[in-house]
Structure 1
Amino acid sequence: MNHPLVTAAELDATLTGGGAVRLLDVRWRLDRPDGRPAHREGHLPGAVYVDLDSELARHGEPVEGRHPLPDRADLQAAARRWGLRDGDAVVVYDDLGGQSAARAWWLLRASGIADVRLLDGGLAAWTDAGLPLEQGDAEVVPGDVTLGDDPWPVIDADAAAAWPGTGVLVDSRAAERYRGDVEPVDPRAGHVPGAVNLPTAGNLDSTGRFVDATALRARFEEAGVTPATPLAVYCGSGITAAHNALAATIAGFDPVLFAGSWSAWSNDPTRAVATGGRPG
């Protein structure tokens, strides 16, 4: 597999050299979910906007979480709208340290796209390098990509409940949400009993780029992860957990995703909740 990250300089060299790369702009954030206005103000040349809420997720019941994974057929239809063709290389980016673009990286990689990478440092890395932006909407010729049908590497709430008995379950949210000090979005505060806390902010340096593989590996090892340890990650609604899945992959581990995450868990009153700074 290609390295999951690409630098702005590497991407520019590929594009300047005539390399065929499909660029996906996955700008989204909890307080501003629609990234289209920002996309139209300026995006990487040729980049297509991807709507995380409607194309990288679907609407479901509360116990499925706030961002259930999309149906495979719907994701394939969206990928064709973005212009993806079989064999294309794909680069995804955002303006949030990769926190939203990692969802696209995870989904496309899990669906059999062989060469999908995340632009390290995102939009800021591109503009800091003095590289140009485009305005408006990109013109797209629909693609014909066929996604694979292998099962996605996911677990459900029952598996998440049992996971700490044999592996490491990582909660990717900020420490105050993990502890249950605050809960701005979901019905109950706290974390899945037995989960350890590795906030995704720790994957990045002060410039918003990923720290190196050695540092990432040390983070996960400190949480008890080894190459032989089953590793599962979750967050609030399954979005930023993909950031930890990406970090773990760079570090040499093979994570699975609890896709429903805390939003699914906290909406089920039968599920126990742990609070405080320890796994519980």
Structure 2
Amino acid sequence: MQQENRTTRDVTDLKSALRSLVPPVVLDVRWSLGDLDGRLHYRDAHIPGAVFVDLENELAEPGAPELGRHPLPSIERLQAATRRWGVTEGVPVVVYDNTGNLAAARAWWLLKWAGFDEVTLLDGGLAAWIAVGNGTSTGEEVASVLGNVQLSAGHLPTLTTEEAAALAESGTLLDARAAERYSGESEPVDPRAGHIPGALSAPTSANLDADGRFLTAEALRERFGAVKPKVGVYCGSGITAAHQVAALAIAGIDAALYPGSWSQWSNDPVRPVATGM
């Protein structure tokens, strides 16, 4: 079980916690780029008691070229959503998806950014829950009680576009997208292909083992061993970059997230673009 920095929780621990007097709030963040059916997947099968989180509408503001595809939600918007999910002071939260936590990490990061620290990622997600014989539920569930959490912004570091550009020169800026998007070989969504000059390619897929679980802390420390003291992360629109922040946290490394990411950078014609590896 990997619990370093309280970033992850395993399925055995979760199942036991769900039987306790104060069970955790469980959030299902089913989402992936190009798949608009997250809620349908949730309705087909989810961890019993889990509440669905709509990433597009609850974990982001509407996108705009100058802000990126998934700007951070306002603290008011996020607090209203978390209370609907049942998030309550003193009650832990566990988030998961079915894609190695690449989407769920956005909820994990946002809650920590908003000052709610008792949140962990279910290591391996729904697949790990099912693999050990646990049952699932169908349909839609809502929180049994409304939450009372009080949130405030800025508890985790973020980067502006200018700060990301500077960090690429003076520190370490990691590009969490697939290698072919970093190199400019492929760009399925954003207006220009390539990467921020000076950024290093570090695809989030390499944070996971074959079962969709995070690598061990030791393996992640080896993966990120060459980073400089100041580390930042970006991706396409600030979603999977949160997964990289989580992996770095397991390795014991603090990192800032560039929320606008490539979708913001590539929409600014004055920003330079690099290609190749």
Q: TM-score range by the shorter chain?
A: over 0.9
In the other structure, the counterpart of 2:210 is 206
- Tell me which amino acid in the other structure corresponds to 2:194: G
Alignment partner, residue 270 of structure 1: 270
1:2-53 deviation per Cα after TM superposition (whole angstroms, max 9, x unaligned): 5110011111111123342000000001121341111111111110000000
Residue aligning to 1:86 = 89
Q: Summarize the alignment of residues 99-138 of structure 1 with structure 2, pairs less than 5 Å apart.
A: 99-138=102-141
SS of residue paired to 2:224? helix
2:52 to 49, 56, 62: 49
User: Counterparts in 2 of 1:16-165, with a 5 A limit?
Assistant: 16-140=19-143, 141-150=145-154, 152-165=156-169
CA offset digits 1:91-143 (Å, max 9, x no partner): 00000000000000000011111210000000000000101111111132221
Residue 172 in 1 paired to residue 176 in 2? Answer: yes
* TM-score (normalizing by structure 1): 0.94
Offset, 1:164:
2.1
Deviation of 1:253 (Å): 0.6
5+ residue gaps, structure 2, are none
CA contact (8 A) 1:34 1:51 kept: no
Determine the C-alpha separation between the residues in 2 that align with 1:19 and 1:85: 11
Tell me the equivalent position of 2:245: 245
Separation (CA, whole Å) in 1 of partners of 2:118 and 2:276: 40
Paired residue type of 2:97: D
- Per mean C-alpha deviation after superposition, the further-off stretch among 150-159 and 95-104 is 150-159
Q: 1:152, CA displacement in angstroms? A: 4.3
TM-score, structure 2 normalization: 0.95
Gaps of 5+ in 1: none
The one-letter code sitting in structure 2 at the alignment partner of 1:233 is V
How many residue pairs match? The answer is: 273
| RMSD over aligned Cα atoms | 1.3
SS of the counterpart of 1:64? coil
Contact 2:5 2:250 in 1 (8 A): no
SS of 1:232's equivalent in the other structure is strand
Change over 3 Å in CA distance of 1:248–1:31 after alignment to 2: same
Partners of 1:196 and 1:11 lie apart in 2 by 35
Distance in structure 2 (CA, Å) of the matches to 1:114 and 1:154 = 17
Is the 1:87–1:114 contact (alpha carbons within 8 Å) kept by the matching residues of 2? no
Q: Is it true that 1:232 corresponds to 2:232 in the alignment?
A: yes
Change (3 A) 1:149 1:273: closer
2:8 touches 2:123 (CA, 8 Å); kept in 1? yes
Identity of counterpart residues, as a percentage? 53
User: Given that residues 174 and 231 in structure 2 are in contact (C-alpha distance below 8 angstroms), is that contact kept between their aligned partners in structure 1?
Assistant: yes
AA paired with 1:184?
P
Measured after TM superposition, the shift of residue 183 of structure 1 is 0.5
- C-alpha separation in 2, matches of 1:133 and 1:274: 45
Cα offset, 1:217, TM superposition: 0.9
CA shift, 1:69, in A, is 0.5
**What's the CA shift for 1:148?**
2.9
